[in-house]
Amino acid sequence: MANNVQRVELRSDWQFKQVRQGNWLPAIVPGTVHTDLMANGIIPDPFIGLNERGVQWIDKEDWIYRTAFGVDESIFSKHNVWIEFDGLDTYADVYLNDSLIIKADNMFRRWKADIRQLLKRSDNELKVYFHSPVKVDVPKWDALPYHYEAANDQSENGGLFDKKISIFARKAGYHYGWDWGPRLVTSGIWRKVSLVAWNDVRITDVYTEQPLVSKAKAKIRQTIEIFADADGMAMVQTTDHAGNNYADKKVKLEKGVNTVTLEFCINKPKLWWCNGLGKPNLYTFNVKVQKDDSSDTYTQRTGIRFIKLLTQKDEWGQEFCFELNGVRVFMKGADYIPCDNFLPRVTKSVYEKTIQDAVDVNMNMLRVWGGGIYEDDYFYELCDEKGILIWQDFMFACSLYPASGALLENIRQEAIDNVRRLRNHPCIALWCGNNECQDGWYNWGWKKRLEDQKPEYAEKVWKEYEDLFYHLLPEVVGKYHSAIAYWPSSPFGGYGHGSIETSGDYHYWAVWHAKKPISEYNNTRFRFCSEYGMQSFPEFESVKQFAPQPNDWDIYSDVMMSHQRGGMHANQLIESYLLSEYKRPKDFESLLYVGQLMQGDAMKTAIESHRREKGYCWGTLLWQINDCWPVASWATRDYYGRWKAAHYLMRNSYRDILVSPIEKDGNLQVYIVNDRLTSTSGQLSIKVLDMDGAVRNQHTKQVRVPANVSKNVFSVPVKQLLNHEQTDQVVILAEFTDREHYGNIYYLKPPKDVKFKKSAVVYQMIKVVDGYRLVISADKVARGVFLSLDGTDNFFSDNYFDLIPGAKKQVYVKTDLNEDDFRKQLKITILNNI
Ligand code: BMA
């Protein structure tokens, strides 16, 4: 029997206009005002050049969207017809046939209305009126005698002086600007809008819990929410992908919302594992309700696994470690921000590429950071399929927030809505209250500033903080997703103070914001480092996309500066880190290249140091995997999806086994970090090579490393190792071979002090599907081999690597170019020759 619930997306015939102006123009839904203005040729692309500045008027205007639609008899004849908006950004009044049906005030919530009585067979007019978020929120700012901190809100760029109003709106924080993002305060129907029509019964939610999971057996409990038109008996059943029965039950439904529970066991379940530890096995549950002639089916794909956050007190402080299916897992990953300022244009393929790029460099976790959005369903589906665990922040970042009365209630609904939406995804590992709000309070002077103004203000604001992050959000998680831990803030090291290195998670910004040298990464340790980073510019081919004019090719040009939201300070930091470790690059293009290497080397240093501390430390998430527009930032992949040096280098640093040499107190020590769940034995080889690739000294040793630990396996005084060679004329090659081969290259001096020789890098090319395979070699040790082609429409499987003479490196290049053009265009840059 056919499913009796029908869905139609309202995608077509949309128009929009500025309320104060007359012309209706064609619009795309889902979409934003900015993208519609662009499509109509009214504004230029704000991502190019200085265009962002000229579009700041848009958020001060009200906008209307409208469409007219008719419905088929099959819908019109249904007893229930609802309109459902998956997302309205943000202050939106929705009218159907001139009746107000929804008044929305939270971008993160889903909104719906019963429209059965208002619906006509044809010529329905749907109108959505968007109030300017600036006009709505500036009066709230004006009315307060004190102000909520909003460190990253670029109010001045929006012509609002110091009125940082972002904290009033339940709207993505980064829309108001960030230290990597433009100020583009959007409005629009940003997620899909649909009509849903049905008779008699509809399943509105299925919550699948796993109260007991072991290798032998998983107990599954499903709480099924069914909406019924009338009292009566119904059959509820869950089957697998092939229609085999898991459980069924005859139930008596009552008119309205019903909750039905089904319980069953799965023997020898195929557990869901994160990337690197096993397969992310998924199960399909088809849940069906049948009442008389009407039925509804709800399909869910989920994984069977149990995840715990271990936070025991210990001799150092308090640990912070995720346990998956009974084993401790060292988290390797990055922080994630939204992929675009204009969210509706993030396509499925952008999501696929982003998650695949995480998988391809051996990550197992991403942290969805609190200044963006609760991501699209598809994002989490991909993480489920590919074994990427998600640390999910609630959407609060780097600010203090009003949170009382109706606003607090609004936030409660937002939290319920999103926890319910995401709780069946096996990828969800943690719910976290906010990003850095608690550190801001205790460590960045926010508390003191308010107290100095008036102690009552500080008391009020802190009460709001506690109500929200210590009470409301943990209550919602406890009630709607109790299997997953709640963590009040990132970073968090306990109540009553800011974060500390010995407890909980930590954001380490002494390198970068506090200007400590990169080598400091080796002198610090954390229980879980959930943020650290180093900025770089996008590569030259990406820069040309947003700064096409040669006279802008200077990092201090107006265009480059407007695509550097850390300001002058950030450019100076990049330069000073660069010059402390590398020789001064000769021109703009080389500066971009060397800057990327610098970021890559810094991230390699940090990751390796965190992993060597495995056992004390249980995770490393670098800031950040992506950009929301083309910009200089901490991202390891630029807005166009191109991998920066750091992303390439990370792949080796995040492998299941890491060989990590480090010079400490005059000794060269080598660690092997084993992330496998089994022990390993193999051969360790340490070679000292000169710049011609000749072996000057060598040690080999059989080593055994137990499962899931970091072990110091080798130590030798550097003097003895070098055997009269000079520290600036050698490279150390550390290798470990068990069933696979692992390698790492280590220098005893920063690149500017190493005496690299001029090197000729040569290649052979073989045509393969979609491009070429290159076999690359060098006659001298070649540092940071960077391959590039014109434009951004190509991909190199490896890049920015070092080459040892005698070794042959295989690189696959995805490109449409024919052989001649490819040879003409291919540019090989190395640090030696810069
Ligand atoms: C972190 C983040 C962001 C910021 C980044 C770089 O602490 O949470 O707020 O973009 O630092 O400054």
Nearest-CA residue for ligand 1 atom 8 is 435
Q: How far apart are CA 550 and CA 535, in angstroms?
A: 23
- Token pair listed for 530: 């959930």
Within 377-531, where are the H helices?
377-386, 405-422, 437-443, 446-453, 455-465, 473-480
Ligand 1 centroid to residue 711 C-alpha, Å: 32
Q: How many residues belong to the chain?
A: 834
Atom of ligand 1 nearest to the CA of 398: 9
Residue 396 beta carbon below 6 angstroms from any ligand 1 atom: no
Q: What is the pLDDT of residue 486?
A: 98
Residue 342 Cα to ligand 1 midpoint, Å, equals 20
Q: Two tokens at 472?
A: 């409301």
C-alpha of residue 394 to centroid of ligand 1, in Å: 16
Our answer on whether the CB atom of 565 is closer than 6 Å to any ligand 1 atom is no
Q: Which atom of ligand 1 is nearest to the CA of 179?
A: 10
Among 743, 783, 749, 541, which residue's Cα sits nearest to residue 651? 743
Residue that the structure tokens 């395979």 belong to: 773
The domain defined by 657-753 folds into: Immunoglobulin-like (2.60.40)
Query: pLDDT value at position 363?
Result: 99
Q: Can you give the pLDDT at residue 2?
A: 55
Q: Please, what is the end-to-end C-alpha distance for the chain in angstroms?
A: 71
How far, in Å, CA of 830 to CA of 812, rounded? Answer: 18
Q: How far is the CA of 448 from the centre of ligand 1 (A)?
A: 22
Q: How far is the centre of ligand 1, averaged over its atoms, from the C-alpha of 369 (Å)?
A: 9
Question: Tokens 């015939």 belong to which residue?
Answer: 13
Contact 772, 813 (CB under 8 A): yes
Which CATH architecture does the domain made up of 761-833 adopt?
A: Sandwich (2.60)
- For ligand 1, whether the C-beta of 437 sits within 6 Å is no
* 623 Cβ closer than 6 Å to some ligand 1 atom: yes
Residue 507 Cβ inside 6 Å of ligand 1? The answer reads: yes
Query: Angle at the Cα of 656 (from 651 to 660), degrees rounded to 5?
Result: 75
Tell me which of 176, 398, 489, 599 to substitute to probe ligand 1's pocket, judged by most ligand atoms within 8 Å of the beta carbon. 398
> How buried is residue 249: exposed, middle or buried, by Cβ count under 10 Å (0-12/13-18/19+)?
middle
Ligand 1 atom showing the smallest separation from residue 436 Cα:
8
Report d(CA 359, CA 352) in Å as an integer: 10
Which string of DSSP letters, residue by residue, matches 636-678?
SB-TT-PBPHHHHHHHHHTSSEEEEEEEETTEEEEEEEE-SSS
200-302: CATH architecture: Sandwich (2.60)
Domains 6-194 and 761-833 share a fold: no
pTM for this prediction? 0.98
Cβ count near 240 (within 10 Å):
13
Distance of alpha carbon 827 from alpha carbon 764, whole angstroms: 14
Q: What per-residue confidence (pLDDT) applies to 1? A: 46
Pairing of strands 428-432, 485-487: parallel
Please give the pLDDT value at position 792: 86
Q: Who's near 504: CB < 8 A, 6+ residues apart?
A: 311, 317, 318, 320, 487, 491, 492, 493, 494, 527, 528
Q: Please tell me if the CB atom of residue 439 comes closer than 6 angstroms to any atom of ligand 1.
A: no
Confirm or reject CATH 2.60.120.260 for domain 6-194, answering yes or no: yes
Please state the atom number of ligand 1 nearest to the C-alpha of residue 151. 9
Distance 59 CA to ligand 1 centre (A): 25
CA of 398 to the centre of ligand 1 (A): 8
Distance CA 707, CA 285 (A): 35
Question: For residue 180, which atom of ligand 1 is closest to its CA?
Answer: 10
Burial (0-12, 13-18, 19+ Cβ within 10 Å), 211:
exposed
Decide: 435 in ligand 1 pocket, CB within 6 A. Answer: yes
What per-residue confidence (pLDDT) applies to 87?
98
Q: Which ligand 1 atom minimizes the distance to the CA of 634?
A: 6
Residue 478 Cα to ligand 1 middle (Å): 28
- Cβ-contact 388, 359 below 8 angstroms: yes
Whether residue 436 has its Cβ less than 6 Å from ligand 1? yes
CA of 559 to the centre of ligand 1 (A): 22
Q: Ligand 1 center to residue 176 CA distance, Å?
A: 15
The token pair at 156 is 């001045």
DSSP 537: P
Instruction: Tell me the HSE value of 633 on the side-chain side, using a 13 A CA sphere.
Output: 26
- Nearest residue (CA) to ligand 1, atom 1: 531
Which residues partner with 183 through β-bridges? 176
- Counting ligand 1 atoms within 8 A of each CB, the residue from 492, 529, 531, 627 with the most, and so the one to mutate, is 531
The residue whose CA has the least distance to atom 9 of ligand 1 is 398
Q: For the chain, which residues make up each domain, given as ranges?
A: 6-194, 200-302, 657-753, 761-833
Show the DSSP H helices in 529-680 as ranges.
Answer: 540-546, 558-562, 567-581, 588-612, 645-653
State whether the beta carbon of 499 lies less than 6 angstroms from ligand 1: no
CB 269 within 8 A of CB 217: yes
Show the low-confidence residues of the chain (pLDDT under 50).
1
Q: Is the CB of 179 under 6 A from ligand 1?
A: yes
